[in-house]
Each structure stands twice: as C-alpha cells, then as structure tokens.
Amino acid sequence: MTNGVTNIMLDCGLTPKQMAAKGIRLASLSACLVTHSHKDHCKGLSAVTKAAVDTFMLKECHTAIGEKSHRISFISPREAFRVGTMAILPFELEHDVPTLGFLIESDGGSRAVYITDTAFCSYNFKDLEIIAIECNYNSIGRNIPADVARRVYGSHMALEQTLGFVKANMSDKLKEVRLLHLSDSNSNEKLMREAVQARVGEKVKVTVAEK
C-alpha cells in the first residue's frame, strides 16, 4: 500500500452483507489471518480472497475449508512472516481442530496478541499493548448435554483462564484488553468485564467485541 498503512483482518467470520453493514471495506485490507476452519471464523473467506486480499492460514485449515484461491498462503506455528509494516508470529492453540493464535508487532514496536477458540494458551508474551482474547464462559451450566459440555469446556476459554493469561502478560505497556467470543448462553458480559478490569486496573481499557 502506498500510504504505508497496514490493515490486517483477524478471521473472516462475517458474510459479505454483514461486513458491508459494519463498514468494512475489503479493498482497504492488507491481509487476512485465519485462525481455524470453523465457520464462525471463515464464512467470509470467498469474499475476502475475491477482493484480492492476501490470506494466511494453516494447510490443515485450508484442506478443511476447501476454498481454492491463489491469494491463500500457508503458514506454520512459530514461523514468523511479514505483512507490510507488521511482523506476524503464529503459535498453536488448544482447540478441537488445528488452530493458531497470532502475535502482531508493528515496525514501531507495538505488540498485540490475538487468541481465540482455545482451552488455554501455553505461551506468554512481553510488552503487549493489546490483548484480544477469548472469554467464552464464566460458569458451567446445569442443563448442558455431556457432549456439548466436553466440546465447549475442552476447547474454549473460561473466564479463569482468560484472567490467568492477562495476569501473566501484564506490563506497563498494556493499554487494552478486548474480550472475544463470549458464549450466547453461558457468559455474563458485565461480570467478565468487571473481573478483567479488577485484574488490570483502571488505566487499562477493557472492551467486549461485538458478536
């Protein structure tokens, strides 16, 4: 891009209509990073690649989705690559299909991490300014069938895990914690935001991503 701005889309789980409604202009994107093959993370892949946006994902993810486009490149855990003015480091997460998290560092030294759809994160990072992290559920519901419980609790992040990651990755640089992927049926947004805010202190902004 000529103006030096690097715009990266993290996952593409919206339909073209939903993207348009949110004012997302695909033409302004430098790249799209896809974490894994579940529909809520890649529904918009066709539209993104057709808009000539370079898109990065695991080979296993590509095989599972089955989308063919020369805009798709394969990446591997712990092998860094560049998009414009950003260095990207993918790392493995713990989900029910192969899944990546991303550490994104600008040439100016700002660091952000994107972690979603994982039971926990076994990596820690220094000097993060932004932590965008899953906070899926805050309590185990009573009426959840056993198979659903196994899937959700073995492959998504509970508030306790989110708090643990935030605590282990706190630094003076931290500006924002953004909570992602809240369960429709088993999350209390207010309780989660307050618990994270209490952990990071008032100087750090805590936000909840729109569903």
Nearer to Zn ion, 67 or 117 (CB): 117
E strand residue ranges, the chain:
8-10, 31-33, 54-57, 72-74, 81-83, 86-92, 100-106, 111-115, 130-134, 176-180, 205-208
Which part of the chain contacts Zn ion (CB under 5 A), choosing from 20-28, 112-120, 187-195, 198-206?
A: 112-120
Instruction: Determine the interface stretch with Zn ion among 65-73, 82-90, 117-125, 127-135 (rule: CB under 5 A).
Output: 117-125
Among 11, 67, 105, 117, interactor with Zn ion by CB under 5 A: 117
Judged by CB under 5 A, which of 19, 37, 38, 102 binds Zn ion? 38
Half-sphere exposure of 29 (CA within 13 A, CB side): 23
Least spacing, CB of residue 32 vs Zn ion, in Å? 16
**134 and 116 Cβ atoms separated by less than 8 Å:** yes
Query: Smallest distance from the beta carbon of 88 to Zn ion, in angstroms?
Result: 20
| 160 contacts Zn ion (rule: CB under 5 A) | no
At closest approach, how far in Å is the CB of 198 from Zn ion?
A: 26
Among all chains, which residue has been given the structure tokens 């808009």?
Answer: 51
Binds Zn ion (CB under 5 A): choice among 40, 107, 189, 194: 40
**DSSP code string of 113-158:** EEE-S-S------SS-SEEEEE--BSS--TT--HHHHHHHHHHS-B
Among 154, 160, 152, 110, CA closest to 135: 160
Residue nearest to Zn ion (CB): 38
Where do contacts with Zn ion occur on this chain (CB under 5 A)?
38, 40, 117
